[in-house]
Chains A and B, each alone.
Chain A
Amino acid sequence: MSTTAADASARIRETFGVEAAVDGAMVTVVVPRELWTELAHFTNRVLGCRYFNWLSAIDWKEHGLEVVCRLENLDAGLVLTMRTRLGPGETRCPSLAGLCRGADWMERECYDMFGVRFEGHPDLRRILLSEDWEGYPLRKDYAVDTPFAPYR
């Protein structure tokens, strides 16, 4: 089993043909959406990154949403950050909930705040906001003072 960041980077490059930048113990991989679950499986099973740290998204305005996920191999001290750009106007992303149970709530939060629709998530509904909330607050086009009747 490969353990160092350089090893992990090399193996990802030869398996998926994508760049894997190394910075200390951290490997950052940018993949197209089609490879998202495949890379997560590879990271989890082959590289031993079984610790699910967090998952979130960034809104790049006209360039669309980007989903970021951080997985770790605690024994080897390896950190892997996976990133994928969904593309302008696109909100679908494959779910990791079947692979890591921690992705369940994190993906629900990401859906709640950004409207990313995780395909294959068993129970995708809002988690922090109420069911009747309109819009996705962490998107850049959602104004801080958006009215919410009857409260504001």
Chain B
Amino acid sequence: MPDTLTKQVVEVGYGGNERLMMNMGPQHPSSHGVFRMILTLEGETVVAVDAVIGYLHRCHEKLGETLTYVQYPSIASKTDYVAAMTSELAYVSAVETIAKVEVPKRAQYLRVIAAELQRIASHCLWLGTWCLDMGGALGGGATVFLYCIREREMVLDRFEELTGARLLYGFHQIGGTRYDLPPGWDTKVRETVDFIEARLDEYEAMLEENTFFRVRTQGVGVISRELAQAVGVSGPLIRGSGVSYDVRRAEPYSSYGDFDFVVPVETAGDCYARYRVRMVEFRQSIRIVRQALDGLPEGPISSRPGVKSVGQVRVPKGEGYARVEGARGEVGCYIVSDGGPKAYRMKWRGASFSNLAVLPHIVPGHKVADVVAIMGSVDPVFGEVDR
């Protein structure tokens, strides 16, 4: 009798020819937001993924048509709330493109400093949470998480001194920036980036010498060069797949041409390649921040007068698309103007949306545990996916 029972269990559980639908999310800790995957499993192997998004949809594009050009930048920061500086920048750049507004050199440098610090903060959060997701394999992944959050907090403190806010800044405005540097801020920023730079070596030593980390990331979630382009992924994902595409190089905005930095490219296309790209980006961002602080020109921080009314900015009839290199890739904003104080049509090109769209193509064939590692390496922010 016990023999028959055992046999049955073996046939059903481990035969590999039974399909099981498993629901992962929308409240799964590894999703860092609200994201649901309906996995079709054969044994432990995923054979199909249906990604369900939209839980965080807040009608950003409709809001862009309802609010004026003056009101919207503060909402723009809520699309990618982990890297709010860059999403604001994408919006104001799009408006500046259509309205042909000049941005003073000092403001351009301030934007670069803010954007690069934001990239550091965002990558800190990515590294920490990703290692937390892979947890036990790293001998208790919470160690890396706590270290990274500590570093991120230092950058957020700098942003708080600069703008008064920790996460959603309202730093950018059409024609420049809203705030100039507070006294002594640049010294503090230099100390912060020095500290983080020293810590990066420790993280790399912790992770790259860990066999479990390598086994869980190398050869896992490979995005081929062709797939990366066909889906339209950007940022560390496409650079991890051997395509040297960085908006800061492809279409330099905000004086990025003035700075000396390297665009890292890895060819393997797996989770480890994406990790390597981001680790190099940390250092390149630090390099850019230092150069921008060294060469910060004097002058006005905005080419337009301060905001007095919500309908103050009028944009001539026309349309334009502006894009910036956010922490997750190309963040773009397409605006059609009918000459009024509000956009006629506004479209967000969120980096996370396109990056996440690659999941159904790369997850099948992996084990369930790898889904978490792959998701983390994609680094989606659901505010930007669902907008």
Q: What residues make up the interface of A, taking CB atoms closer than 8 Å to B?
A: 25, 50-54, 56, 58-59, 68, 70, 74, 77, 100-102, 104-105, 109, 113, 126-130, 137-138, 144
Contacts and interface: CB of A to CB of B under 8 A. Distances in A.
Given A54-B349, A101-B227, 18 more contacts: A50-B229, A50-B230, A52-B229, A52-B230, A53-B330, A53-B332, A53-B349, A54-B232, A58-B336, A74-B243, A105-B354, A127-B53, A127-B54, A128-B57, A129-B57, A138-B61, A144-B62, A144-B66
Nearest to B56: A128
A101 B230 contact: yes
A19 to B, nearest CB: 17
Contact of B62 (A54, A58, A109, A138): A138
Contacts, number: 72
B interface secondary structure, majority:
mixed
B357 A102 contact: yes
Given A101-B227, A104-B357, A52 B386 contact: no
Nearest to A105: B357
Contacts of B347: 54, 56
Contacts of A58: 336, 344-345
20 contacts: A50-B226, A50-B230, A51-B229, A52-B231, A53-B330, A54-B332, A54-B334, A54-B347, A54-B354, A77-B250, A101-B361, A102-B231, A102-B354, A127-B54, A128-B53, A129-B57, A130-B54, A138-B61, A144-B62, A144-B66
A99 B337 CA distance: 31
Nearest to A53: B232
Interface string B364-387: 000000000000000000000011
B60 to A, nearest CB: 10
Nearest to A112: B54
Contacts of B256: none
Nearest to A52: B232
A109 B54 CA distance: 10
Nearest to A61: B344
Sorted nearest first, the 4 A-B pairs with minimum C-beta distance are A128-B54, A102-B232, A52-B232, A105-B357
B171 interface: no
A127 B386 CA distance: 9
B253 interface: no
B321 interface: yes
Contacts of A109: 353
Contacts of A51: 229, 232, 245
B34 to A, nearest CB: 12
A118 to B, nearest CB: 15
Most buried by B among A58, A70, A102, A144: A102
B59 interface: yes
